[in-house]
Structure 1
Amino acid sequence: MVPECDTSCKLSVVQKFDTLEDGVQFYKRYAMVVGFDVRQSTVKKSTTGEVDVRYLVCSRQGFKKGVLQGAKPICGKDRGPKTTSRRRTSNRVGCLARVGFRRVQDGGFIVSILEERHNHALCSGNSKTFLKVNRKLDPGLQTFIVNCIWANIGPVRCFHLYKEFVGGYNNVGATCAEFYNFKRDFQAYIHDADTQLLVQKLANKKEVHSDFYYAFDIDSDNRMARLFWADRVGRSQFARFGDVICFDATYRINKYSLVFVPFTGVDNHKRCVTFAAGLLTKEDTESYVWLLQQFKETMGHSPRCIVTD
């Protein structure tokens, strides 16, 4: 079958593009509109390493080599390791749809080969969202996911929130799996710099609000061992209701194995208010002495009574 679409989306033989990337993106947009996936095929380079010829084919081009894929080694009794295979279905049907770009003398690229016919049905309108050419995270969407990560919003809720912004799942441009994968890759990217990001964020708050206070301490391995912070509201609340405070550490339920130590009190409406907070890697005497000393220096004086376990 030959896909039908607007003529402005179709390629034609000898059509010229300034760069190879322009031609590739044009063909991917065409595939996005009509409903099929694209993958890269043969690439021919010159002696200088520049691409002279590139072919793009339908994702269902060719056939798989054999019907059994994904061999897994197992051990038989007294026979050593052997191999078993599990059966996988293939979507390859030998489709011949393809396009070829060839470099010309002036440096541009022309369409040298074009085959529009497919030997399989194309995706319907509702299924186009799941095509690989339609599943990509543009910079704006990546920024939105990062902001949700900072706000401790998971990928599923982030996906549903973005759907409300753009008016439907078809307009998101990605599936929930892409949101999961981007969050995983982002957290892996900042894995070794997460402490520095936290300190930088606290420093930025200090520049905006001069009443904000924070302090941290590192251990012998140059890793953060203790952290304390208090904002303007908490210090103001302590000046009014800081006669009696309560603090107790939480259990180590986070992936960093840190204990959270909030300093709380009660206002004149009998509601709990937070004065300051800290994070500790060890619940030893030295850590608590450091934490309480930071609290005392920040608030200016000690409370009359401290309640703890």
Structure 2
Amino acid sequence: MPICDDAVKPYVGQVFKCEADAFKFYRTYGYESGFDVRKGGAKKGKYDQVIYRYFYCQREGINPTKRVETSKTQRKIVKRRRKPSTRNDCKARMTVRNQNGTEYVVTSLLEAHNHKLIAPECRHFMKYNRNVNAAHHMVMVKCAKVNIGPMRAFRVFKELVGSYEDVGCTSNDFKNLSYEMSCYPDGSDAQLLLDRFKTQRDLDDGFKCEYLLDDCQKVKSIFWCDSIGLKNYRIFGDAVSFDATYSTNRYSMIFAPFTGKDNHGGCVTFAAGLLNREDVSSYSWILYVAHHDEGGTKTTHIFEREC
């Protein structure tokens, strides 16, 4: 049975101005008591108007079946990610009824749970506290600009706010936010890459980047190398490995790295490129990159050894 302050505890006959206020109040009650809540089903009237709305404990119900019927005579097991279940048919709930078309009144309240409630020291993991706001977005954007991943960005945010309890979300929320941010620039990500290479060229005098466009003004081939890669080639470039991948990214472009081995037997990268297809013209272009100088245009091998 939840134990909390009577000020945050709902009661039968309590009136709310709207459905959102009722859910917010029950959610606050769940946080103070130690359980997560979620919206349930609704009973609607003739004109699709909500008459009853149900708010459940997060552990209400049972797991859905793992089998689906593909035909009348055949069944197939659905492959799902293995994860622990949180539902155990908890009966705790609150029911509100729409009266006068605007207000909602509590008609029933079941408080007893059939599981342990969350301890106060672990309540920062509840969905009530896991809210990704503008501050999290700003930290992720700043960290992404300096090539910091979501896990390290989560630890940086923890240091800024003081503790893990004050972060407001979990590391998985940071990972999901990072994935959503990577999907956001869809359609303009090639331009973002070229802008990044332009900035890198201003910072590194030895950075080289060349690219080709197709008839639709889309990048079909791109090549880049930096001063560290060129230095590695001058030292360990006696043998160069050129092994292209195939359709290993969502753009179905061929990733073509130039690699070698150092004096410790470890792999070192000299340069890399992306190609839209595996043909003679694409490989010829990436092996012989054209670069421009003030005196004119010339074509040289990108790995021409210095005397």
TM-score (norm 1): 0.61
1:140 paired residue number: 135
1:33 paired residue number: 32
2:262 paired residue number: none
Partner SS state of residue 3, structure 2: coil
Give the alignment partner of residue 160 of structure 1, picking from 155, 159, 163. 155
Tell me, yes or no, if the aligned pair for 1:260 and 1:279 is still in contact at 8 Å.
Answer: yes
Tell me, yes or no, if the aligned pair for 1:3 and 1:116 is still in contact at 8 Å.
Answer: no
Partner SS state of residue 188, structure 2: helix
Say if 2:32 is the partner of 1:4. Answer: no
Q: Separation in 2 of the partners of 1:280 and 1:61?
A: 50
Q: Separation in 1 of the partners of 2:195 and 2:48?
A: 43
Change over 3 Å in CA distance of 1:160–1:90 after alignment to 2: closer
Q: Separation in 2 of the partners of 1:72 and 1:109?
A: 38
Give 2:4's aligned amino acid: E
Partner SS state of residue 12, structure 1: coil
Tell me, yes or no, if the aligned pair for 1:71 and 1:85 is still in contact at 8 Å.
Answer: no
Partner SS state of residue 112, structure 1: strand
Tell me, yes or no, if the aligned pair for 2:12 and 2:109 is still in contact at 8 Å.
Answer: yes
Tell me, yes or no, if the aligned pair for 1:39 and 1:56 is still in contact at 8 Å.
Answer: yes
Tell me, yes or no, if the aligned pair for 2:67 and 2:75 is still in contact at 8 Å.
Answer: no
Change over 3 Å in CA distance of 1:109–1:143 after alignment to 2: farther
What 5-or-longer segments of structure 2 have no aligned partner?
200-208, 225-229, 234-239, 259-271, 276-281
Say if 2:127 is the partner of 1:126. Answer: no
Deviates more, 1:33-42 or 1:194-203: 194-203
1:17 paired residue number: 16
Give the alignment partner of residue 184 of structure 1, picking from 179, 183, 188. 179
Higher relative contact order (CA 8 A, sep 6+): 1
What 5-or-longer segments of structure 1 have no aligned partner?
74-79, 205-213, 230-244, 262-277
Give 1:308's aligned amino acid: E
Tell me, yes or no, if the aligned pair for 1:247 and 1:308 is still in contact at 8 Å.
Answer: no
Say if 2:304 is the partner of 1:308. Answer: yes
Change over 3 Å in CA distance of 1:116–1:216 after alignment to 2: same
Matches within 5 A, 1:224-243: 224-225=219-220
1:232 paired residue number: none
Q: Separation in 2 of the partners of 1:81 and 1:280?
A: 43
Q: CA RMSD in A?
A: 4.7
Shift of 1:163: 1.0
Q: Separation in 2 of the partners of 1:258 and 1:220?
A: 22
Deviations 1:38-74 (A, max 9, x none): 1222212344434332211112234457xxx64599x
Matches within 5 A, 1:290-301: 292-293=291-292, 296=293
Task: Quote the sequence identity (%).
Answer: 29
Change over 3 Å in CA distance of 1:216–1:18 after alignment to 2: farther
Change over 3 Å in CA distance of 1:285–1:101 after alignment to 2: same
Deviations 1:58-108 (A, max 9, x none): 12234457xxx64599xxxxxx99869999875444432211232221523
Shift of 1:160: 0.7
Q: Separation in 1 of the partners of 2:46 and 2:147?
A: 51
1:61 paired residue number: 60
Tell me, yes or no, if the aligned pair for 1:57 and 1:97 is still in contact at 8 Å.
Answer: yes
Partner SS state of residue 56, structure 1: strand
Q: Separation in 2 of the partners of 1:288 and 1:202?
A: 16
Tell me, yes or no, if the aligned pair for 1:44 and 1:53 is still in contact at 8 Å.
Answer: yes
Q: Separation in 2 of the partners of 1:156 and 1:39?
A: 28
Partner SS state of residue 109, structure 1: strand
Tell me, yes or no, if the aligned pair for 2:211 and 2:221 is still in contact at 8 Å.
Answer: yes
